[in-house]
Amino acid sequence: MAEPRRALQTELLEQVLPLVLEIIPGQAGEGLIDLYEPGSYEGQLLRKLCEKTLGKKNWSIEEQQILEDIYRQLDGGRLLCRGREIQGTALDFALLEETGAGEKYLYVPIRAIKPQEGGLYPSKKTSR
């Protein structure tokens, strides 16, 4: 994966580019990668795109394993990006990237993750 770079929203909007959506399960190094052609994602909620990707059936064996990992994380977990829930369109979260051959595309990494921390007591109750 290329290093994520800064992207200006206006710059993204002006370009007709494919969108690469990657859903990463937990702390895995690689996620499930799906490609959306220009015209197929604009204006759509990112959440809906994720649902569409996760609903697809034509995955390879390796991809199916990643998909299972994603489902395991989503059992009680959430889809997050940039430290928050994925409310908004794909362009709200996209980064402008470039392939080795210099072709530009939009990239959205999404994290599928379970609650993580070491456990909490329900609330503070003190003596009176």
Number of Cα atoms under 13 Å in the Cβ half of residue 5: 12
Are 31 and 22 within 8 A, CB to CB? yes
Give the C-alpha separation, 123 to 120, whole Å: 8
* Residue 55 found at the interface with other proteins (CB under 8 A): yes
* Residue 54 found at the interface with other proteins (CB under 8 A): yes
CA 60, 62, 68, 70 dihedral sign is negative
* Residue 75 found at the interface with other proteins (CB under 8 A): yes
CA dihedral angle for residue 92, residue 93, residue 96, residue 97, rounded to 10 degrees: -160
* Residue 100 found at the interface with other proteins (CB under 8 A): no
* Residue 58 found at the interface with other proteins (CB under 8 A): no
- State in angstroms the smallest separation of the CB of 22 from other proteins: 10
Give the C-alpha separation, 86 to 92, whole Å: 9
Of 7 and 33, which CB lies nearer to other proteins in the complex structure?
A: 7
Of 18 and 95, which CB lies nearer to other proteins in the complex structure?
A: 95
> Which range, of 10-18, 36-44, 97-105, 108-116, touches other proteins by CB under 8 A?
108-116
Task: Write out the residues near other proteins by the rule CB under 8 A.
Answer: 1, 3-4, 6-7, 27, 29, 47, 50-51, 54-55, 71, 74-75, 77-85, 87, 95, 109-111, 113-128
